[in-house]
């Protein structure tokens, strides 16, 4: 039955008011407020910086009552003077729901791949840690030069980062400064820089690195906000790093349920070796995952020399 007086859903009136107040057309993002719902899921499970969308069900459509239930391609349950505009927005809203669902599915796939990748790297570093722990009573091995970049991995950090905040190039860099203040490979004392989130620059030093490898915690303080940084230099190629959550997230955007400290496994990046591998690898293997082909440690990003 056609009903010109039936009250339309709340999202429609909100959008109409928005177009009048701001004197503009409706954009795809304007639908998002009504497509999201409060969830009991932890805040770190949010996707792509958006709220947890209820796009897998039609529960949010129930508010439309008979208007949604009775509508078909050939007939409409509402024929008020604004019916054409209402059904136009309704179609756009459904399209936006499909788009958000695709975004969430893609982001979840990417997140799962990133987590698996980091778990593999964490296992590699943990094996070095375990070997040192089992041989801790034996003579200590001198720590070679740590100048260069160590990429950082933490599956726990991946879990707490929504898609828009996950930044692939997480690393710690060790370097000397020459007399002009430029990075150098040689010098007496070292400087360092941690990049986990571009909004939380974290410089530290100068400092003198330990002389031997081991499990002993080596504590430093960041230069700007005086954060406590804890390193373990397991070898010339492997480190562990503990940083407060303020270093791992944008200021004011730390998940409420995030741990106070995040631990990262660090693996040295050998730029020369990467260049040789890139020469041999001109096309991606069919066995490689999308994440491996697009990760910052992949072939496309390994032609950057040591800064």
Residues 218-242 have pLDDT tens digits of 999 998 878 899 999 999 999 999 9
113 shares a domain with 235: yes
Sorted by sequence, the CB contacts under 8 Å of residue 129 that are 6+ apart come out as 215, 232, 234, 238, 240
Q: State which of 107, 141, 171 marks the end of a domain.
A: 107
Sorted by sequence, the CB contacts under 8 Å of residue 216 that are 6+ apart come out as 210, 232
272 shares a domain with 198: yes
Any idea what DSSP says for residue 134? Answer: H
15 shares a domain with 33: yes
User: What is the C-alpha separation between 81 and 4, in angstroms, rounded?
Assistant: 8
Q: What is the DSSP string of 160-181?
A: H--GGG--S--EEEEEEE-TTS
Query: In 10 A of CB 44, how many CB atoms?
Result: 16
70 shares a domain with 30: yes
Residue 2 domain flag: no
Q: State which of 81, 107, 133 marks the end of a domain.
A: 107
Q: What confidence tens digit (pLDDT) does each residue in 67-83 have?
A: 555 555 446 788 889 99
How many residues does this entry show for the chain? 307
287 shares a domain with 148: yes
Q: How far is CA 54 from CA 14, 31, 77, 86, 183, in A?
A: 19, 13, 25, 22, 49
261 shares a domain with 114: yes
Residue 4 domain flag: no
Residue 5 domain flag: no
Looking at residue 65, its pLDDT comes to 46
Residue whose token pair is 């399209």: 95
Looking at residue 301, its pLDDT comes to 44
User: What is the C-alpha separation between 201 and 172, in angstroms, rounded?
Assistant: 11
158 shares a domain with 78: no
Residue 51 binned pLDDT confidence (cut-offs 50, 70, 90) = very low
256 shares a domain with 180: yes
User: What is the C-alpha separation between 133 and 203, in angstroms, rounded?
Assistant: 30
Looking at residue 53, its pLDDT comes to 42
32 has pLDDT over 50: yes
Q: What confidence tens digit (pLDDT) does each residue in 269-278 have?
A: 977 666 666 6
Residue 252 binned pLDDT confidence (cut-offs 50, 70, 90) = confident
32-35: list long-range contacts, CB under 8 Å, 24+ apart: 32/96, 32/100, 34/10, 34/60, 34/93, 35/60, 35/93, 35/96, 35/97, 35/100
245 shares a domain with 126: yes
Q: What confidence tens digit (pLDDT) does each residue in 165-214 have?
A: 555 679 999 998 876 666 666 667 899 999 988 777 789 999 999 999 99
296 has pLDDT over 60: no
29-33 average pLDDT score = 91
User: What is the C-alpha separation between 191 and 204, in angstroms, rounded?
Assistant: 6
Token reading at 178: 């020459």
288 has pLDDT over 60: no
Residue 78 domain flag: yes
Contact 265, 121 (CB under 8 A): yes
User: What is the C-alpha separation between 216 and 231, in angstroms, rounded?
Assistant: 8
What average pLDDT is seen over the chain?
77
Any idea what DSSP says for residue 241? Answer: E
pTM of the predicted structure, to 2 decimals = 0.69
56 shares a domain with 44: yes
- Domain extent at residue 284: 109-301
CA quadruple 162, 164, 169, 173: dihedral sign: negative
The residue that leads in pLDDT, 254 or 137, is 254
166 shares a domain with 89: no
User: What is the C-alpha separation between 115 and 295, in angstroms, rounded?
Assistant: 12
18 shares a domain with 56: yes
Q: Count structural domains, the chain.
A: 2
Residue 306 domain flag: no
Residue 3 domain flag: no
Which helix (H) or strand (E) segment holds residue 36: the answer is none
Q: What confidence tens digit (pLDDT) does each residue in 83-129 have?
A: 999 999 999 999 999 999 998 898 888 889 889 999 999 999 999 99
Q: State which of 107, 139, 174 marks the end of a domain.
A: 107
Residue 225 domain flag: yes
Instruction: Indicate the SS3 state at residue 50.
Output: strand
Residue 307 domain flag: no
């Amino acid at each position: 039955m056609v009903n010109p007086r039936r009250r339309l859903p709340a999202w429609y009136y909100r959008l109409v008011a928005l177009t009048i107040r701001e004197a503009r057309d409706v954009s795809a993002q304007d639908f998002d407020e009504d497509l999201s719902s409060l969830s009991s899921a932890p805040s770190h499970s949010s996707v792509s910086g958006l709220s947890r969308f209820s796009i897998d069900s039609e529960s949010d459509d129930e508010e439309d009552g008979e208007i949604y239930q009775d509508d078909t391609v050939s007939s409409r349950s509402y024929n008020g003077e604004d019916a054409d505009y209402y059904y136009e927005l309704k179609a756009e809203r459904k399209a936006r729901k499909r788009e958000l669902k695709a975004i969430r599915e893609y982001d979840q796939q990417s997140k799962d791949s990133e987590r698996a990748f980091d778990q593999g790297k964490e296992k590699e570093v943990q094996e070095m840690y375990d070997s040192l722990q089992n041989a801790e009573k034996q003579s200590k091995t001198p720590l070679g030069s740590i100048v260069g970049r160590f990429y950082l991995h933490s599956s726990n950090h991946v879990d707490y980062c929504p898609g828009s905040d996950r930044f692939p190039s997480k690393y710690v860099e060790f370097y000397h400064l020459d007399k002009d203040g430029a990075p150098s490979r040689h010098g007496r004392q070292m400087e360092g820089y941690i990049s986990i989130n571009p909004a939380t620059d974290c410089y530290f030093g100068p400092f003198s690195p330990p002389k031997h490898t081991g499990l002993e915690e080596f504590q430093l303080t960041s230069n700007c906000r005086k954060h406590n940084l804890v390193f373990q230099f397991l070898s010339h190629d492997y480190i562990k790093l503990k940083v407060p959550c303020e270093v791992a997230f944008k200021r004011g955007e730390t998940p409420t349920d995030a741990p106070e400290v995040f631990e990262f496994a660090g693996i040295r990046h050998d730029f020369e070796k990467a260049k040789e591998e890139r020469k041999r690898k001109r096309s991606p293997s069919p066995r490689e995952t999308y994440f491996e082909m697009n990760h910052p440690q992949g072939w496309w990003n390994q032609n950057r020399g040591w800064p």
